[in-house]
Chain A
Amino acid sequence: MFGPAESTNLGTPPMSDSPWSLLPAASTNAEALDTLYIFFWILCGVALIVAIGAQIYLMIKYRMPANGIHRKTSPLTHNGKLEFWWSAIPTVFFVILFYWGEVDYMKQVTPPSDAIDVRVTGQKWSWTVDYPAVPGASLSNELIVPVGVPMRLTMTSTDVIHSFFIPVFRLKKDVVPGRYTVLWFEATKEGEYPLFCTEYCGDQHSGMIGKVLVVKAEEYEAILKERSKLEYDETKGDKTQADFGRRVYKRMGCDSCHSLDGSNKTGPTWKGIYGRTEATSAGSVTVDDNYIRESILEPNKKVVNGYAPQMPAFAGRLDDKQITALIEFMKEQK
């Protein structure tokens, strides 16, 4: 079954080699936040050591005498001064933390007016990223951004709530159906970073992983256009339409629900699918070119029995050539 370990969904090598490389600071927000974060941990560390240190000291010093007979104990019941100070000092630190967190947060949620607009759509279980400023630029499970340029993501979902999370930017925002949420950042470090869904959204929640590609500002548009292209291309190893279809299958995230090896995922497997007769919500159907085409564009019209009607519609996201290639690819899965 699909697991991110194979990274098949992304068509990329593993995103990093060690746990720590997931957490570089790669945005202005991340750099600012890490200062607060470090202050925080020093403060909490000191508080923990003081509290637990006092506890251990008292535990040892006032243990019951070894002869098993209790000694006389202190009649102390309270101490107003002490209680005042141990209420006041934490309060002061809490106010500092609150204020600092609030200031950084307001920066996090206030995009500059010259930010470049990007549209993000979450669906079970992939991200679609569209670039209104670059004609024809649209990516699946991939976010390409230039270094040093503020970007504003306007996000929505077509089904359930997802959450868009980029650890190296220290940013996250829920992606909610029926409304728009906004996230902005300015990347500071080139590289390839993971992008997670952090709001539980069903079976393949764990597989809803994409990547963020931070590139040089001057190369940004060219790379974006190149990566958006999804057409027959011999230089990418396409020898037949089916080869191209395989690339569509991976890029568009079909593989998160449809297996090729006969295993049962969220949708029916594609192994032996072409020509198979399926019982559907609209009666018995033989899987042919027209049924496949219809199921891609309007997936919930005839749903194979035993599966929930939850495939997102691909009308407007796949063109005829891509659909044709997909059908050729499906024919090959015997």
Chain B
Amino acid sequence: MTTAHTHDHDHGEEPNYLVAKRGLMSWLVTVDHKRLGVMYGVAVLFFFMVAGILAIAVRTELFTPDQDFFSATTYNQLFTLHGALMVFLFIIPSVPAALGNFLLPLMLGAKDVAFPKLNLLSFYIYSAASIFLIYALLTGGLDTGWTFYTPYSTSTGTAVIAATAGVFVAGFSSILTGLNFVVTVHKMRAPGMSWNRMPLFVWAIYATAVIQVLATPVLAITLLLLIIERGLGIGIFDPAMGGDPVLFQHFFWFYSHPAVYIMILPGFGIISELITVHSRKHIFGYKAIALSSVAIAIISFLVWGHHLFVSGQSELVGVIFSFLTFAVGVPTAIKVFSWIATLYGGSIQYNTAMWYAMAFLWTFTVGGLTGLPLSTLAIDVHLHDTYFVVAHFHYVMVGGTVIAFIGGIHHWWPKITGKMYNEAAGKVGALLVFIGFNVTFLTQFFLGHQGMPRRYYAYLPEYQLMHQVSTVGSWILAVGLFWTLGYLVTSLFNGKKAPSNPWGGVTLEWQTQSPPIEHNFHDQPHVYTSPYDFPEIDKSAGNFHPPA
């Protein structure tokens, strides 16, 4: 992708977005998508750290079969907050709100998102939601699990209303961000950027935004009903008041299953960018990857019932949901194969971002394949609600989204901060994260296969060995993540100044300075080619020879 004409006249004096305006107020009321992206980034990483520390506490309690460090009540609050903070305050906003906000207008060649003030409002709504959830944490905790299943959640004495109100409010932030992005993609593309010339990250964010707009209201409705039941004593889900507890599960998963794709699709987008740029190759199967994101977004609305295979829902319904769940497997498999095929004939540079992309292919493939037994009705009956499910969704959410997110942070770090990080330190961190993650969660597949149920603070001694391996793995993972945080923060102070295009990317964000100026581009960029048209690609038909 190239800009129309490179102006030779000097723009060097124009300050970048970080210093264009100064003072705290200039940040608090900013409508610059880049600043909001950075603010979201800091916020989501903060919650990632808090929820991660909770996870380490959970794993440490599970080091022995007995109750050791925490009471049952405290343990239940720990895993609930771990799940709720990770899902609602970290993973869902992570890629779209942080990297998406920063990159979407840049990649489209726009000055900002379509509704900059709405974007600021989203951030404040998100902040308010966070405060609600922290309030729930401080006022006696929450012990329902992040799924808030009724009638447990309507009968427990903990701060369910505050927490669900927090999630309810966070949902609006998600809806407004999604709306903003949909309009931005439709209306703000640079001249010449047809749909087929959009970077795949933009396609992924677009598909995600559509799900955010369509699915999140259902969560809001569900949680509102829950609040009505608890607050006003109107029986909706509680059988003691004439309600139906399984109805809640249908409502909840009607949102929360599409939400799984809100979490993972942006990760797919990042991987598409990373693999092409660092292997100097056009993406393999552009249309297949772009359209499979859309296919996944559509099918994702029709598979929620696979969370209810053992809930007592009708067998016919179970069969239909099993079939539809397998249908999601096809576009997902196409993506993985296309990424691997992109490596063919490349000239792959292995920097930290590419290490994460390669790690992703392993973790996500394991996560995807272990989804198959869970879609198979008869087998799911055994594996449902065991550690197998825990391992599976951590492979998809952490091995998929989080690995992609960290890879993306490394890839765009020079653009966002204007600084280069230390590559050697980056690779040490990537290795620790990869090893720690696999040790933690690979063992959990075996635990679940052996029948270890979820959400136990104490367990049969037969499971101890595998629990201990898993716990040690979680410590390695934690060391890797803190190490990564350490060198990234250090690079802000003593990192080398980043060039405008350190990796040789051809998408538009690399065609402006690092960090970008406040209005992104000096001149309106024009687009004439595909976003993966690298100069190394051999276009002299038939002259490409694989290395010996």
Contacts and interface: CB of A to CB of B under 8 A. Distances in A.
Interface of A: 1-5, 14-23, 33, 36-37, 40, 44, 47-48, 51-52, 54-55, 58-59, 61-65, 70-79, 82-83, 86-87, 90-91, 94-95, 97-98, 100-106, 108-109, 159-161, 163, 165, 167, 170-174, 176-179, 181, 194, 196-207, 209, 265-266, 308, 310
A203 B76 contact: yes
B451 A44 contact: no
A74 B310 contact: no
A193 to B, nearest CB: 10
B336 A51 contact: yes
A47 B369 contact: yes
Contact of B379 (A5, A33, A64, A103): A33
B145 interface: yes
Given A86-B334, A102-B322, A76 B284 contact: yes
B365 A52 contact: yes
Contacts of B454: 198, 200
Contacts of B449: 23
B279 to A, nearest CB: 7
A55 B340 contact: yes
13 contacts: A15-B460, A17-B462, A23-B451, A36-B379, A40-B376, A51-B340, A55-B358, A70-B347, A86-B334, A97-B372, A103-B378, A198-B385, A200-B152
The listed residue with most A CB atoms (<10 A of its CB), out of B149, B345, B386, is B345
A293 to B, nearest CB: 25
A80 B300 CA distance: 26
Interface of B: 65-67, 71-73, 76, 143-145, 149, 151-152, 155-157, 239-240, 244-246, 279-288, 310-312, 315, 318-319, 322-323, 326-327, 329-330, 333-334, 336-338, 340-341, 343-350, 358, 361-362, 365-366, 369-370, 372-373, 375-382, 384-386, 446, 449-451, 453-463, 465-466, 534, 536-539, 541, 543-544, 546-547
B361 A55 contact: yes
A33 B330 contact: no
Contacts of A104: 377-378
The 7 closest A-B pairs by CB, nearest first: A74-B345, A178-B239, A167-B451, A101-B376, A104-B378, A3-B458, A105-B377
A14 to B, nearest CB: 6
B497 to A, nearest CB: 21
A14 B463 CA distance: 12
Contact of B458 (A86, A171, A173, A207): A207
Contact of A59 (B285, B348, B538): B348
B59 to A, nearest CB: 15
A163 B385 contact: yes
Contact of B285 (A58, A75, A83, A172): A83
A64 B369 contact: no
A5 to B, nearest CB: 5
A143 to B, nearest CB: 15
Given A3-B458, A165-B453, A172 B382 contact: yes
Given A86-B337, A163-B310, A16 B462 contact: yes
Contacts of B462: 14-19, 21-22
Given A4-B460, A73-B536, A76-B345, A199 B385 contact: yes
Contact of A48 (B240, B366, B536): B366
A206 B311 contact: no
Contact of B311 (A98, A176, A197): A176
A100 B326 CA distance: 13
B346 A74 contact: yes
Contacts of A51: 336-337, 340, 361, 365
Given A48-B369, A72-B536, A172 B384 contact: yes
Nearest to A37: B379
A159 B284 contact: no
B358 A73 contact: no
B537 to A, nearest CB: 5
A40 B373 contact: yes
Nearest to B331: A87
A160 B66 contact: no
Given A19-B465, A21-B462, A72-B543, A78 B286 contact: yes
A101 B322 contact: yes
A170 B330 CA distance: 28
A202 B322 contact: no
B365 A61 contact: no
A47 to B, nearest CB: 6
Contacts of A72: 347, 536-538, 543-544
B449 to A, nearest CB: 7
